[in-house]
Amino acid sequence: MTVDAVAAELLCSPPKISRIETGTRPASLRDVRDLCNLYGVGDAERSRLMALAREAKQQGWWAKFDDLAIESLIGLEVEARKATSYESSVVPWTFQTEEYARAVIKGSGLHIEDRILAERVTARMTRQELLRSADPPRMWFLIDEAALRRVVGGNHVMRDQMAKIIDVSASSNITMQVVPFEAGAHPGVDNTFTLLEFDSAALSPVVFVENLAGTFYLERDTEIQRYREVLDYLKACALSPDSSIKSVEEAKKRFESV
C-alpha cells in the first residue's frame, strides 16, 4: 500500500504515516492498533507491537538528566544480552568508583560545569545498577594495563578502584581480562569501543565507538565483523581472567605502598 492509501484508510495525513514509517514520529497505541487492523497482522505479532508501543511511552531513568551525551548507548545497554568492550586508557564505567568516575569525567571535560559533572557522576553510578538487575547481560571487558597504572584522582582513589574491579569481576555474568604492555602494538591500541548484541532478530549488533571527534554507532555487517575480529585478537593476547585478577591485585598493592 502507498502512504497516501494508508492515510486515506486511517483518515489522517500522508506525512503522519511517512513520519511513523521513518521513525521520526512515535506511533501511539491507537496508531499501532489501526495499522495492525489495516495490514491484517496476526494476534501474536499484534500483541508484541502493542507492547513495544506501550514501552516506548515509558522514559528510561536517564531521561531526567540534561546532558549525558550517551543516552542512546544507555538505552542499547538496557536491551543488550551481551556486551564486549575494550578500554584503552581508563577503567571501564562498569567498575568505576564514584571518586574515580568524578576524576575521569572532570579530566575529560576541561570546561565542564559543576552541575553537569554531578549529573554525569550520578548517572554513571545509576548505570551500574544494570549489573545487579534480575537478568543482567553477559559482559566481557578488556582493559589495557595502562588503565591500571594511570593515577586518576590520587593513590587512595586508585587503591579503592582496584578493589572494586576485583569485587565486580567476581560476578558470574562478567569476564575481565587485562591486555598487558607485553602485547605491544595491536588493533585496539588507540581505540575505545563496545560491541552490543541482542536476543531479538529484529535488532542487529551495534558497535559504539568513542573518541575526541564524538561518538559513533556502527551497524554494517562488515564493520561488525571487523570489530569482532579485533575483540577476538585482544582476548587471545590478554591475560587469562585469573591472571588478570592477580594483575589488578598487584596494582592495588602498589597504590597501598605509596
Q: What is the CATH number of the domain that holds 237?
A: 3.30.870
**C-alpha dist (Å) from residue 123 to 37, 186, 218:** 41, 32, 24
Residue 191: predicted pLDDT:
84
**Predicted TM-score of the model (pTM):** 0.76
Residue 22: predicted pLDDT:
76
Among 58-72, 110-124, 234-248, name the most confident range: 234-248
Nearest partner of 157 among 103, 93, 88, judged by Cα: 103
Distance (Å, whole) CA 258 – CA 253: 9
**Which residues touch 209 (CB under 8 Å, ≥6 apart)?**
191, 192, 193, 215, 216, 217, 218
| 247 close to 145: Cβ distance less than 8 angstroms | yes
pLDDT tens-place string over residues 50-72: 877 776 666 677 777 777 778 77
Is the domain of 29 the same as that of 154?
no
Nearest partner of 97 among 252, 211, 209, 254, judged by Cα: 252
Is the domain of 180 the same as that of 253?
yes
Judged against a pLDDT cut of 70, whether residue 193 lies above it is answered with yes
The larger pLDDT score, comparing residue 98 to residue 257, is at 98
Is the domain of 127 the same as that of 186?
yes
The larger pLDDT score, comparing residue 175 to residue 55, is at 175
State what percent of residues in the chain have pLDDT above 90.
Answer: 59
Is the domain of 84 the same as that of 13?
no
Is the domain of 95 the same as that of 172?
yes
| 141 close to 177: Cβ distance less than 8 angstroms | yes
Is the domain of 247 the same as that of 132?
yes
Is the domain of 126 the same as that of 227?
yes
- Pair type for strands 82-87 and 214-218: unpaired
Is the domain of 236 the same as that of 111?
yes
Is the domain of 29 the same as that of 65?
no
pLDDT tens-place string over residues 132-145: 888 899 999 999 99
Distance (Å, whole) CA 62 – CA 126: 9
| 152 close to 104: Cβ distance less than 8 angstroms | yes
Question: Mean pLDDT, the chain, as a whole number?
Answer: 89
Is the domain of 36 the same as that of 120?
no
Is the domain of 15 the same as that of 69?
no
Q: pLDDT band for 75, please (50, 70, 90 cuts).
A: confident
| 237 close to 186: Cβ distance less than 8 angstroms | yes
Is the domain of 28 the same as that of 122?
no
Q: How many domains in the chain?
A: 2
- Can you give the residue range of the structural domain that contains 27? 3-56
